[in-house]
Chain A
Amino acid sequence: NAGVMQNPRHLVRRRGQEARLRCSPMKGHSHVYWYRQLPEEGLKFMVYLQKENIIDESGMPKERFSAEFPKEGPSILRIQQVVRGDSAAYFCASSPGQGANTEAFFGQGTRLTVV
């Protein structure tokens, strides 16, 4: 059973370009979570999705950021018109359910660098 797969592992974008980060959850997992991590800090929650639905996007910036988890295919975190402050590691996690007794498993992350 493959783990959570994220790609690309590293992404370099110029200011103003778009960044698309992909996450394939573990087999059998229908819950996906995106987190952002700045250097030397803990992870910050961004968004929680189930198949075709955004459940909680309270951690997402209101502009330029969007996320989806289509019926088929990976979850996508999209950042439009990137700025230097978007440079960070973006981690995706998945779980089979949302109960508090259910652990989430993380991917290896995508490191976005905006130049």
Chain B
Amino acid sequence: DAKTTQPPSMDCAEGRAANLPCNHSTISGNEYVYWYRQIHSQGPQYIIHGLKNNETNEMASLIITEDRKSSTLILPHATLRDTAVYYCIVRVADSNYQLIWGAGTKLIIKP
């Protein structure tokens, strides 16, 4: 699977949009981009995933660049409970579910 690069940490003010970047410059055409988060050593929580088009659900939006070499996870109105480590992962289509996890971005929401 393609390797991802994320900043190790970010701050965001409560109520503002949190934009978390991810670089995946070696991504292949059949690889999906997944985002999970982990709140203080709990089990990882699925957030969103996409292939080429931008995606939105009740938790977040995922913006994927046209060349697919990078993406941004957007939490539109961050709350203190969004403080967590956010992981960006790419996954090959039709592969076993062997997610390759990096170190993620530690997002701290400040009041």
In the complex, whether A69 has a CB less than 8 A from a CB of chain B is no
Residue of B nearest to A44 (CB): B101
In the complex, are the beta carbons of A42 and B98 less than 8 A apart?
A: no
In the complex, are the beta carbons of A105 and B97 less than 8 A apart?
A: no
Within 8 A of A (CB), among B79-111: 87, 91-104
Instruction: Give chain B nearest CB distance to A21 CB in angstroms.
Output: 13
The number of chain B residues with a CB under 8 A from chain A is 28
Residue of B nearest to A103 (CB): B46
Within 8 A of A (CB), among B42-95: 42-46, 49, 51, 87, 91-95
Q: What chain A residues lie within 8 Å of B99 (beta carbons)?
A: 35, 43, 45, 104
A56 to B92, CA, bound (A): 15
A58 to B96, CA, bound (A): 11
In the complex, whether A89 has a CB less than 8 A from a CB of chain B is yes
A6 to B36, CA, bound (A): 19
Q: When A42-B87, A45-B99 are in contact, do A104 and B46 touch as well, CB less than 8 Å?
A: yes
In the complex, whether A25 has a CB less than 8 A from a CB of chain B is no
Instruction: Give chain B nearest CB distance to A24 CB in angstroms.
Output: 13
Residues of B within 8 A of A (CB): 30-32, 34, 36, 41-46, 49, 51, 87, 91-104
Given contacts A98-B97, A104-B46, A106-B36, 14 further A-B contacts (CB under 8 A): A40-B103, A41-B103, A42-B103, A43-B44, A44-B101, A48-B97, A56-B96, A56-B98, A98-B96, A99-B94, A101-B93, A104-B97, A104-B99, A109-B41
Residues of A within 8 A of B (CB): 4, 6, 31, 33, 35, 40-45, 48, 55-56, 58-59, 89, 91, 93, 95, 98-109, 111
